[in-house]
Every structure is written in C-alpha cells, then in structure tokens.
C-alpha cells in the first residue's frame, strides 16, 4: 500500500520554443488506500497525467512519488503498480490464465504461487470457468474483468485505471462501477481512476481531481466539488444539466457571475420572472429551459408538478444557501 504524491508535474512535448506544454504544474497528495478519480473533458491532460504516474510517459518537470519514493526514472514494471487499459490490452494469443499470469512469470514467481494467485483473482472476479478461453471468445464485460484480474494478481501498491468502463454498454458500466467499488473496499489498494464521465467520477471517487486545459481546477470530495465548485469550469462540468451561470442576475455586482444549479431553483409566486422556451420530460423530472432577461436558465422540477408551456411566464426563486458567486474575469469562486 502506498500514497502517491505529485509535485509540480509538468509535461511538455518537444523541446525549445516550439515545445507544447500540456500539463502546467499539478500538485496533489493521494493518501494510502484512497480512491481518487481524475475527471475532465477530452484533451485536458488527465490521461497524460495517469500515464506519467504509470511510467509510460516521461515526466518533463516535477516529481512523482509512490510510497515516498521518487519514481520519475523507474521503469513501469519497477513501480509496483498495475494498470487497466481502456481497450483492456489483453494478449490475443494467450488464454485468460496466461494473460493474468504473464507479469508474474516474468517476475519469476514460482509456478504454484502463480496458480494460487490467479485462482484467487479469478474467484473474486468470477472468471473461474473462463481461464482456458482466449480473449476473443469473451464478451466485453468479461474482457474487462480479465484486465482487472491481471492487475489484481500482481498485488501492486497502486491501481491505475485509464477509462476502463468507456467500452462497456450503459448497464454493464453501472454494474462494473459497483464491482470496482466493492473490489476497492475489499483490497483497499490506492487507486487512480481516469474518466471523462462525471457520473462515474461522482459515484466512484472518495476524492476527485477536476482537470481543465492541463490545470488542476479542484481536488476534493465529490460533495465539496458539487457544493463548492472552485471555478466556473468545475461548476459547469460537474452536474447534469450544468449549473446556470448568470451575468446580469438581479442583485449581482458588476464583474461577478452568479451560479445556481437547476435543482436549486423553486417555481413559486415570488422570485425572478422568466419566460419558458422549451420543456423536456426526463421521466422523474422535467427540465424547463427558460430566459431571464435574455440569459438562458434551466430549471429542474419534479414530474408531478404542473407542466408549463413554451411562452409561459414563471416565477422562480433560487435557494439562498445554494448560490455560488464567481469572479467573471478569472472564473474563480468568490
């Protein structure tokens, strides 16, 4: 078991003035046994960050520590980590057993020890019947489990997940999410999980790193990220539908943005007067797309309440304790 420390991590491609900097100094401290999710839109550098921890990308600047040891120049295999890839990266010509055992074979683990470890992992992941199969004879979900099994048998200090659920269908994804949570509870191995899906991030993370454009925007528990987003970006990225950001809200000081989530607006008799554009029914709830003095505003109401029609005028009141103020220039929380 180990903690992971990122100190001023910088990644640049190329050298000299033409160099392209993609990660601009990330600092984070991941505790032992913690499950941390890195989330952000595509191209934000989250995968690059993970690959640097894995040792698949060189670190241009800063230090990565795993268990208080600087690992910048260590080969991936020497970092005592295991990684689950997006496309699983199973060896197509090897059986499930050999896929899981390969790393151990190279590490010269004795044969019977390999067998015990693989059998144990197969039992946890319910792969017992499939050990002799080739990867192409498995379904997507089973392949995903083999990839996790390959990580488990190495008994590493750290698990790295690179969008492991993005190739699964929605149902399987939800199920695997639960399995990963269960696995983490049982094994308690420090984990770093990269995803672009905020639902995955919110449900899996003990703490999450929200990244944007190579910067770490916020590092905190899902509650903190949801209730106190540190910037406009985090506010609009986490939560679905995204937070409303109003420049000309009633009572707003110039140079500020008022953020209020759609679920924190109540339709009633007082408050802001808005004009309804469109209404969407999502099942348990209804989304009202409206305008407040020309600015778009989304309101989320329960399905049971009255459904407004386009063109209607409504009064909505934001909940006072759920307002977020941001600096309009820097985007930072005030």
Partner 1 sequence: MIDRRPWLTVLSHAVMLIGVLIVAFPLYLAFIASTHTTQEIVQAPMPLLPGNNMWESYKAALFGSGKLGSNTTVAHMMWVSFVTAMVITVGKIAISLLSAFAIVFFRFRFKMLCFWAIFVTLMLPVEVRILPTYKVVADLGMLNSYAGLTLPLIASATATFLFRQFFLTVPDELVEAARMDGAGPMRFFWDVLVPLSKTSIAALFVIQFIYGWNQYLWPLLMTTSEDMYPVVIGIKRMVAGGGDAAIDWNVAMATAILAMLPPTFVVVLMQKWFVKGLVDTEK
**Footprint of partner 1 (CB under 8 A):** 54-56, 75-78, 81-83, 85-93, 102-103, 106-107, 150
Give the C-alpha separation, 294 to 297, whole Å: 9
> C-beta of 53: minimal distance to partner 1 in Å?
12
Nearer to partner 1, 140 or 268 (CB): 140
Q: Closest approach of Cβ 295 to partner 1, in Å?
A: 45
d(CA 156, CA 241): 38
Nearer to partner 1, 148 or 202 (CB): 148
Q: Which is nearer to partner 1, 88 or 97 (CB)?
A: 88
Considering the complex, what minimum distance in angstroms separates the CB of residue 229 from partner 1? 33
Which of 80/263 has CB closer to partner 1?
A: 80
Q: Between 94 and 199, whose beta carbon lies closer to partner 1?
A: 94
Q: Are strands 61-66 and 69-70 parallel, antiparallel or unpaired?
A: antiparallel
Q: What are phi and psi of 190, to 5 degrees?
A: -55, 130
Cβ closer to partner 1: 56 or 287?
Answer: 56
CB of 160: closest distance to partner 1 in angstroms? 9
Q: Which residue has the tokens 């639960």?
A: 178
CA atoms in the 13 A half-sphere facing the CB of 177: 22
Q: How far is the CB of 197 from partner 1 (least distance, A)?
A: 19
20-30 and 4-13 beta bridge pairing: antiparallel
Cβ proximity to partner 1: between 78 and 315 the closer is 78
Residue 84 CB, nearest approach to partner 1 (Å) = 10
CB 152, min distance to partner 1, A: 13
CB of 58 to partner 1, least distance (A): 12
Q: Which is nearer to partner 1, 82 or 316 (CB)?
A: 82
């Amino acid at each position: 078991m180990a903690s992971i420390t990122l100190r001023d991590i910088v990644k640049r491609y190329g050298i000299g003035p033409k160099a392209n900097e993609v990660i601009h100094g990330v600092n984070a401290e991941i505790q032992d046994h913690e499950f941390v999710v890195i989330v952000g839109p595509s191209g934000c550098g989250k995968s690059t960050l993970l690959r640097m921890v894995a040792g698949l990308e060189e670190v241009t600047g800063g230090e990565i520590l795993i268990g208080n040891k600087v690992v910048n120049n260590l080969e991936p295999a020497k970092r005592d980590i295991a990684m689950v890839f997006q496309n699983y990266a199973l060896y197509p010509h090897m059986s499930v057993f050999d896929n899981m055992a390969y790393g151990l074979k190279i590490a010269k683990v004795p044969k019977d020890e390999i067998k015990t470890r693989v059998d144990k992992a197969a039992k946890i992941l319910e792969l017992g019947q499939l050990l002799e199969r080739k990867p192409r004879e498995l379904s997507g979900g089973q392949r995903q489990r083999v990839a996790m099994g390959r990580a488990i048998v190495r008994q590493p200090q750290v698990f790295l997940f690179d969008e492991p659920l993005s190739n699964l269908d929605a149902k399987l994804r939800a199920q695997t999410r639960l399995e990963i949570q269960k696995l983490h509870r049982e094994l308690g191995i420090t984990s770093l999980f990269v995803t672009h899906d905020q639902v995955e991030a919110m449900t899996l993370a003990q703490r999450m790193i929200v990244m944007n454009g190579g910067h770490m925007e916020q590092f905190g528990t899902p509650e903190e990220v949801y209730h106190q987003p540190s910037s406009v970006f985090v506010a609009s990225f986490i939560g679905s539908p995204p937070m409303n950001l109003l420049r000309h809200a009633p009572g707003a000081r110039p140079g500020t943005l008022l953020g209020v989530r759609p679920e924190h607006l109540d339709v009633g008799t007082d408050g802001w007067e808005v004009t309804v554009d469109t209404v969407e029914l999502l099942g348990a709830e209804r989304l009202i797309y409206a305008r407040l003095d020309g600015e778009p505003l989304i309101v989320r109401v329960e399905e049971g309440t009255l459904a407004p029609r386009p063109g209607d005028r409504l009064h909505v009141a934001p909940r006072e304790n759920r307002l977020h103020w941001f600096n309009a220039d820097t985007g930072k929380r005030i």
